[in-house]
Amino acid sequence: MNKIVLITGASSGIGYETAKMFVKQNDIVINISREISQVCQHNFTADISNEEQLDQIFTQIKQKFGKIDILINNAGYGMSGITELLKSSECKAIFDVNFFGTLNCIKKALPLMKKGGKIINIASAMALFPIPFRALYGASKSAVLSFSYSLRMELAPLGIDVTTICPGNVKSNFTKNRIKNFETSQRYGRRIENATEKIDKNDDKRMPASCVAKHIFNQAKKKKSKPMTIVGRKYKLLYFLTRITPKSWLLNLTEKIYGGKF
């Protein structure tokens, strides 16, 4: 029987590639995004941090489909900048989309989900391995991961499964669309620019979005998913190392590599 699959941010990147897989097996795929998805059968343009817009959309989904079988919270964006110099509005905005947007969609989808339903939240490897000058992005994705663990326990007795995907670096428009705030001061110098250049120069080595989509699709098909899936071999290795070594080891190493110093 065809599933009703709702994906946020399915107009490009990971969301787009994931939508293609569900469409291929004849599921009904709904996209909620700022842009239209060329692969989804049904599109709603909205800002997921806007609850009024979501109320209207989920009312229409209920009227048309009556249920949601799978919810994939993929929409989000990145931001780099010196934490001390970021505007409060910038800090709030990234949480409004990355965390509260996810929360909004879950709260509105749950009344339409029954036993056997599945919620898949897309966090980031940065939720596990934070780096300098990406503090707010990492914090927003860490919040998604922690929240997902709690929600998994809350919904288990209802038969609704919750899992989180933590991808590493992915080839997509995410890097291009990331907000880059290069405002600095005398004591930080060019560290933010140096750190950003060092990370972004490896864009060609990033994994394809389809690789992450396969993991999402596979978890969606399982009756009982894992609480969290890390995508990317080096990130799995790092996660293993952090469990057998002091936390200070990883933080010191990361600061030396990505702290913006030569």
pTM above threshold 0.85: yes
Average pLDDT over residues 47-51: 96
pLDDT band of 87, cuts 50, 70, 90: very high
pLDDT at position 117 is: 98
Whether 239 sits among the annotated catalytic residues: the reply is: no
pLDDT at position 180 is: 86
Question: Which domains does the chain carry?
Answer: 4-258 (3.40.50.720)
Given 16, 77, 137, 239, the catalytic residue: 137
pLDDT tens profile 228-255: 999 989 899 989 988 899 989 889 988 9
CB distance 254 to 131 below 8 Å: yes
pLDDT tens profile 151-188: 999 999 999 999 999 999 888 766 667 888 998 999 99
What is the rounded CA–CA span in Å between residue 193 and residue 115? 49
Percent above pLDDT 70 for the chain:
97
Q: How many CB atoms lie within 10 A of CB 16?
A: 24
What is the rounded CA–CA span in Å between residue 44 and residue 57? 7
pLDDT at position 250 is: 86
What is the rounded CA–CA span in Å between residue 53 and residue 45? 9
pLDDT at position 200 is: 78
pLDDT at position 176 is: 65
Q: Which among 126, 159, 150 is positioned nearest to 140, based on CA atoms?
A: 126
pLDDT at position 238 is: 87
Average pLDDT over residues 71-77: 97
Give whole-number Cα distances, 105 to 26, 31, 54, 77, 209, in Å. Answer: 23, 12, 7, 16, 23
CB distance 85 to 181 below 8 Å: yes
pLDDT tens profile 100-143: 999 999 999 999 999 999 999 999 999 999 999 999 999 999 99
